[in-house]
Chains A and B, each alone.
Chain A
Amino acid sequence: MRELVVLSGKGGTGKTSLAASFAVLAGDAVVADCDVDAADLHLVLAPRPRERHDFVSGRQALIRPADCTGCGLCAELCRFAAIAMAARPDGTPVFRVDPIGCEGCGVCVRSCLAQAIDFPECLCGEWLVSDTRCGSMVHARLKAAAENSGKLVALVRREARRLAEEEKRERIIVDGPPGIGCPVIASLSGASLVLAVTEPTVSGEHDLERVLSLARHFQVPVAACVNKWDLNPEMTERIEAKAAAAGARLAGRVRYDAGVTAAQLRERAVVETDAPCVDDIRAIWNNLQL
């Protein structure tokens, strides 16, 4: 089984448009949307959910006001400044946990002398298994301002693998999260191939270097492609030379094409339209030899 993870450093470089096109070209892959923070793949692949599951992860401290003696030890110990003092109607102090700031470490729970702090599990979102016109898809939705996107990414990938085994699929196509932090690390460790998508901009160059060094750090083979390459041909060449020097395979270039946005507006993958850049995307897909 081969797993391709499409990454981009920063988002908005055409990562999802490419991943959707690859899913269509593969025809029988399992598709996983690991951009759980801002998942967009479903806007193109129109998944019909067949399973829905809660994503429960981590815990959150909750002070029972009736039992809080107002000593303030918890607020002093919390390293994440998530506990603040408030006043009761009679003016005496009571402490309160800010659910958004709490990282669920449990230090306050363990230390409270009055044992006034509960530590329930949190519902952080949901994950789904769906049918699409190009095979099964695993995707997820993180609740607004929720934590643990790295864990959700790991879960989506695990389910995609399980599904691929069950349905005897040879390939998994993963739309990865942006950045180089915890969700990205969760999305690429152990993958067969990373495709880093970038644009010929100073920031694209900078971001690509960071993604490539991350892939190297985790020893995952990596290919690179430049989207909208004709926006700045000299920069494209410079980026390609750097990528090659960093050990990336050059998978190709995609031209600047208004057809990409047009396809999105029609909820189609680019390769399902007659946009000029379809040839470019097909060439990249063939070069990847997944």
Chain B
Amino acid sequence: MTLAIASGKGGTGKTTLAVNLARAYARPLQLLDCDVEEPNAHLFLPGTEAASEVATIPVPEVDESRCDGCGECSRFCAYHAIVSTGTKALVFAEMCHGCGGCPRVCPRQAIREVPRRIGMVERRQAGDIALVTGRLDVGSVLAPPLIREVKRRLDPSLPAVIDAPPGTSCPVVTAVRGADFVLLVTEPTPFGLHDLQLAVDTLRELAQPFAVVLNRAGAGDDRVHRYCREAGIAIMMEIADDRRIAEAYSRGRLVFDAVPEYRALFSGLADTLLGGQGG
């Protein structure tokens, strides 16, 4: 069972839900932090760092002694990452998607591929939770390949929770694709509703099953409830607008540990979605 947790925008409580569900499950599971631009799950899960690996993508390197400036690579590249206008080809590696096209189209075999670092994949064990974190390098634009690297470490023999990046475009699509179920976290406000609608459009486009978790319930009005009722979307859990939750979060503490009265709520949802005893 792979459960992805997403939201139309950040700061709605996505990571809070992911880490507390993982903690509440209380049996071995994996937590994949795919919010690679701002990975936060590790801040709530002290544990021992097991290993970290550099993630790379292949980018071209031009052998200048062979390049005659024909410009074939530059005409081919859809991302303007290799440029030659009658001169030797120049690579703008930070724009390269690593498609492997330019080495193929070069008539003089002047291009080979070399790895370029885009970020790190870190592993950590925090109690029962095997956390895998992707961390995009500052200045790198390529979240999707790093997210794919994190997901490659998914162990199918264990249940998994994926903390997806916020938004509705390529990074979030890469993170939630293939998950068995998606929880969309939102707030009962105009921004919350609007961002939820965008996320719903995306998941419908992907044809993935999902439900909603309402955070800060009581802080706004009933517009998210009304929308979900009309659109036939289940609200699987409501987390109250409780300053103690905000304060626990602020200190990097799990709601599960800091405000025990919410324990049953998280445990119940974890068992329902990730599989009960023996999961």
Chain B residues within 8 Å of A181, by CB: 37, 136, 140-143, 171
Expressed in whole angstroms, the Cα–Cα distance for A8 and B173 within the complex equals 22
A12 in contact with B78 given A38-B166, A107-B100 (CB within 8 Å) = no
Closest to A258 in B: B219
Contact check, A235 vs B100: say whether CB atoms are below 8 A apart.
no
Check B220 for interface membership: any CB of A closer than 8 A: yes
Contact check, A144 vs B198: say whether CB atoms are below 8 A apart.
yes
Minimum C-beta distance from B247 to chain A (A): 6
Contact check, A265 vs B221: say whether CB atoms are below 8 A apart.
yes
Chain B interface helix/strand/loop/mixed: loop
Minimum C-beta distance from A211 to chain B (A): 9
Closest to B199 in A: A38
Residue among A185, A207, A258 making CB contact with B38, cutoff 8 Å: A207
Contact check, A180 vs B221: say whether CB atoms are below 8 A apart.
no
Check A176 for interface membership: any CB of B closer than 8 A: no
Check A231 for interface membership: any CB of B closer than 8 A: yes
Contact check, A178 vs B9: say whether CB atoms are below 8 A apart.
yes
Chain A residues within 8 Å of B40, by CB: 10, 202-203, 206-207
Minimum C-beta distance from B36 to chain A (A): 8
Size bin of chain A's contact surface: 35 or more
Contact check, B167 vs A178: say whether CB atoms are below 8 A apart.
yes
Chain A residues within 8 Å of B221, by CB: 265
Chain A residues within 8 Å of B219, by CB: 258, 261
Residue among A106, A144, A202, A207 making CB contact with B205, cutoff 8 Å: A144
Chain A residues within 8 Å of B252, by CB: 201-203
Closest to B174 in A: A101
Minimum C-beta distance from A28 to chain B (A): 25
Size bin of chain B's contact surface: 35 or more
Minimum C-beta distance from B16 to chain A (A): 9
Contact check, A203 vs B15: say whether CB atoms are below 8 A apart.
yes
Chain B residues within 8 Å of A59, by CB: 78
Expressed in whole angstroms, the Cα–Cα distance for A43 and B223 within the complex equals 14
Chain B residues within 8 Å of A210, by CB: 37-38, 138
Top 3 closest A-B pairs, CB basis? A12-B11, A11-B10, A105-B99
15 A-B residue pairs with CB within 8 Å: A12-B12, A77-B104, A101-B177, A106-B76, A107-B99, A107-B100, A107-B101, A110-B101, A147-B169, A147-B170, A178-B38, A179-B171, A206-B38, A207-B40, A265-B220
Q: What residues of chain A have their CB less than 8 Å away from a CB belonging to chain B?
A: 8-13, 16, 35, 37-38, 40, 43, 58-59, 77, 79-80, 100-101, 103-107, 110-111, 142, 144-147, 149-150, 177-182, 184-185, 199-203, 206-207, 210, 213-214, 217, 228, 231-232, 235, 258, 261, 264-265, 267
9 extra interface residue pairs, beta carbon distance < 8 Å, beyond A10-B166, A184-B37, A203-B40: A35-B9, A100-B177, A106-B101, A107-B104, A147-B169, A147-B170, A182-B141, A202-B250, A203-B43
Q: What residues of chain B have their CB less than 8 Å away from a CB belonging to chain A?
A: 8-12, 15, 35, 37-38, 40, 43-44, 76, 78-79, 97-101, 104-105, 136, 138-143, 165-171, 173, 177, 189-191, 194-195, 198, 201-202, 204-206, 219-221, 243, 246-247, 249-252
